[in-house]
Amino acid sequence: MASLTKLKIRHTRIRKRVSGTAERPRLAIHFSGKHIYAQIIDDEAGRTLAAASTTEKTIREGDSKARPNAETSVAIGKLIAERGKGANISTVVFDRGGFLYHGKVKALADAAREAGLVF
């Protein structure tokens, strides 16, 4: 395990316990150096039901400098919740992807909760 990073180790540990179903899909998030990604996934069927990221034209038009910070995380959280509601999804299981629940991750989760997702 020496070659694995702490992020990968935490992510593997989380994924052992967290999986999405049709009734309660998984809200998976990822932060790269430049972008924020969020997906609502049904693991049983292997399908992505809704997705949002900073690579989309709609996000970039609103903020030409959409960086992976807490402010942009709030926008992505609201957007994924709206798209989830559009797909008739109200409850999800939160998968923080190995990232610590602090800062950007907490901002995205709180924004998604405020916009109507339950987890």
Q: What is the pLDDT of residues 24-72, one digit of tens each?
A: 999 999 999 999 999 999 999 999 999 999 999 888 876 667 788 999 9
Start-to-end CA distance of the chain, whole Å, equals: 32
Q: Topology of 6-114 in CATH?
A: Nucleotidyltransferase; domain 5 (3.30.420)
Smallest Cα–Cα separation from 38: which of 79, 7, 93, 89? Answer: 79
Read off the pTM. Answer: 0.90
User: What is the DSSP code (8-state) at residue 32?
Assistant: -
Here the tokens at position 101 are 């629940």
What residue has token string 């995205």?
108
With a CB cutoff of 8 Å and minimum separation 6, the contacts of 56 are none
For the chain, the structural domain boundaries read 6-114
